[in-house]
Structure 1
């Protein structure tokens, strides 16, 4: 047993040898990192020394070529934060390609190109030497679908168009219609969210003359809101609905544009509303 243990111990590498083996895995990255540092320093010296433009560019190209020969080239590109944006579109916009010199990668230029993409709100570009470029994007958040002149577009909360194609998958989002509706959608939908009894019945919000809103209900009725006083009008509508379930009745329109009256327009052929169920109608002249 002692001989077996002695042989095993003899074959076991010493601490120094183990350290050398482990350090080999980090030797190349460390060397490449040193090359990159030297290259950056050389470039900075060339720039600070005030070399003529053509000569400085030649020095820069030589440095890039030398570091690329030493292994500082793009080997991997990763993307973080992508949900809706197309991966191939992001890669194409980045302009990155395998084998491209790492020192020829301009994070600022790539960031600008990425932020020009429809889905990208913000972007950041990280060079992780020796050969990894990591792209971080923050996408715009879909807020509503905007219909204008027969065309549909997906918009964000600020009313900016994200995409105009393939918006069907966002059909669950609110629909706003008309000229100027995109820019004012967030204000109206914020008010509407305070009245879930109305909100769940609304199928579209239509901007009228870029001034006020009509709400199209699932029943087919239109609720005509006054300009700038949407919340007060909805308060009146909810009060009437709690008394008489007016939102569930067959109506063409509920006109709330005047502060002192509410006008109900029934579907032709329907029985007129009992006067006591809509007391505000008695104020009509």
Structure 2
């Protein structure tokens, strides 16, 4: 009986020891696998593919933004957080939004949607302020701009109003061969336009579309009235307008 008990005891301890070795080995293997997966040197993201209609952002810009934010290469295939990487790309000045996905075994794909500028904004205050097509202000280096954008100015709390007035007035003007080069919205929401053709229109706060239509209707007659180009037209009257012509060779300007 004693020998049988000793044999059973030995088998128990041998089995327990084997079990513990297996468990320890399993955890060690899991740990090794985890650290290997998380180690950028073992499963690194080697290739960056940047897609999208790019005009102001380059793949090099995207890579530098990701590396600069991380302080390291792109990271491991398993450990790289696509949400964090997307936030880093979207923090770039010319990026409106981005989407990121990983492709096995070593590819990081970034799809970039750039900001589409609508106009300069308050250029007399900041030379890097722009408005996008949604009427939102963003700040970016303008040195790469190839578009001839209008200049909009106004109170910072009235961005939406300035964009609304620009779009409505410019649409009507373009239908008749004119376009807005500058729009200034005062604190009291009074509107003044500078046309690409060189004429300034003072519109005031009310009946803006009607006053633009009055300008369009009167313009052919005004052009015939004097040989010099029109400098400014004040349309802030219920009837009639005040006109100032350019006098290149004189200091005085005539009103009619």
* TM-score of the two chains, using structure 1 as the length reference: 0.62
Q: Residue in 2 aligned with 1:190?
A: 167
Name stretches of at least 5 consecutive residues in structure 2 with no aligned partner: 1-27
Between the aligned partners of 1:75 and 1:165, the Cα distance in structure 2 is 29
Aligned residues: 217
Counterparts of 1:42-57 in structure 2, within 5 Å, are: none
Q: 1:242 aligns with which of 220, 224, 227?
A: 220
Q: Residue in 2 aligned with 1:90?
A: 62
Q: Residue in 2 aligned with 1:102?
A: 77
Between the aligned partners of 2:74 and 2:205, the Cα distance in structure 1 is 60
Q: Tell me the secondary structure at the aligned position of residue 253 of structure 1.
A: strand
Per-residue CA distance 1:154-200 (angstroms, 9 max, x = gap): 32123433335334734611122343474434322322122227764
Q: Residue in 2 aligned with 1:120?
A: 95
Between the aligned partners of 1:184 and 1:99, the Cα distance in structure 2 is 43
Name stretches of at least 5 consecutive residues in structure 1 with no aligned partner: 1-57, 274-285
Q: Check whether the contact 2:244–2:254 (CA below 8 A) recurs between aligned residues.
A: no
* TM-score of the two chains, using structure 2 as the length reference: 0.68
Cα deviation, residue 87, structure 1: 3.4
Change in 2 beyond 3 A, CA 1:149/1:245: same
Q: Residue in 2 aligned with 1:258?
A: 237
Q: Residue in 2 aligned with 1:173?
A: 149
Between the aligned partners of 1:99 and 1:171, the Cα distance in structure 2 is 34
> RMSD over aligned Cα, in angstroms?
3.6
Q: Check whether the contact 1:226–1:258 (CA below 8 A) recurs between aligned residues.
A: no
Query: Which structure shows the bigger proportion of residues in helix conformation?
Result: 1
Q: 1:142 aligns with which of 117, 137, 144?
A: 117
Cα deviation, residue 234, structure 1: 0.7
Q: Check whether the contact 1:64–1:101 (CA below 8 A) recurs between aligned residues.
A: no
Between the aligned partners of 2:30 and 2:200, the Cα distance in structure 1 is 67
Per-residue CA distance 1:186-235 (angstroms, 9 max, x = gap): 32232212222776464322222351211124565421113253211111
Change in 2 beyond 3 A, CA 1:130/1:164: closer
Cα deviation, residue 263, structure 1: 2.3
Per-residue CA distance 1:98-131 (angstroms, 9 max, x = gap): 5832111111111122222221111111110111
